[in-house]
A and B are shown apart, each in its own frame.
Chain A
Amino acid sequence: MRYFALLSLALFCLAWHVCPATAQEQAPADAEAAQKLSLKQGLMCERVENLTPVGPGLVFSVSSGQVCCYTSFDPVPQHTVIYHRWFHRDELSTQTRLRLYPTKWSTYSVIQLRETDKGPWRVEIIDQNGRIFDVLRFSIAD
């Protein structure tokens, strides 16, 4: 019981010294990590198989049924989230939240195509602070 009391005191002192420093340094560290986060590859494709883009292109047929936005990040300093924002003729159509994990990570979002989706599109790849990594432009045609 005596040893347990001493151990608790020691842990409390350690926490007293360490915790404030961690709280103060957390925000700059996140910002720095976000700066280091880098988009290695971003492209539009028909589908993704085994985390590999299949049928890349700039124009997709509506008959293919779907279109994917594939992104690969390297490095990923820490666990974070990014967004794929899909715009059809400058109107936001959908937004997908995707998680990234260290040290490198590939991920994708997909939309199902309808006849009304024909026309020019763009996908903005942004982080949670709104920083744009890239804008991918493509079209849905017949």
Chain B
Amino acid sequence: MIIIGENIHVIAKAVSTAIREKDSSVIGDLAKAQTEAGANYVDLNVGPMKKDPEENMRWLVNTVQEATDLPLSIDTMNPVAMEAGLKACKKRPLLNSASGKTDSKAQMLPLAKKYNCNVVISVMTDRGMPPDVDSKIESIMDTVTYANDLGIANEDIWVDPIILPVSTAGEGQRFTVANLEFIKILEDVLPGVKSTVGLSNVSNGVPSELRPLLNAVYLVMLAKNGLYSAIADPLDKDLMRLIKGESPKEVELIHKTMDGGDVDFSTISRKQVEYVKTAKVLMGETLYSDAWLES
């Protein structure tokens, strides 16, 4: 599993302040910490970057490259900032992200070709978010075909099915189940493409102390179905242990749960029970509530 470290993110106040004030120590420390924790890429999520996009992005990329040798994921919807970022990268970057929207096809996908980089392409189109597995597949096939015509190979495309919060009233679990299914069949419909997800969104809106559990278990489940990479928090030790194969017993329990096997709670630890209960929620077997561990 390729982990794209999510911690340099403008929504974090410290990060937005550091970019504005060109404080290289804050940014450098975040890059180093993620590298040491085992991330494979560092994501630079700068949002729309309306002010001085070229200069700011160049500074950010150079600052991060002084702190780490990892390749970067340039994460902005501003094509000017995107190009400045890709241009400044020493290693082959990841363009994060393009989609099937008209603007994105016209502006982002040509950049992926021009800079010969890997590119995240989401299932989003001008019609918005496709509601189910079939329509997600249909949308992504159209956009990938478009990218292929521009000369971008399947091997350079990382498909993003868009993760939505499991806690969304009544509907969230339908989304988590659909994305598990999507990842499972992706290789069959688009051989050679890779995949990625914005993992943490699955736990958006959930009490904060419970979020890491949902993130970690969902990542194990997606990995079982063939997920290639995830934008996630590499500083989450539990998640990294699970995904790097250091907790094989726990991973096995989650897999067994996905396969419909019965798990005897009296023989496993409290933490393991939590993993099983969480897997059952994410696969749609138990109805979600914020108290899912308590029943």
User: Are A and B part of the same complex?
Assistant: no
Contacts from A to B (Cβ < 8 Å): none
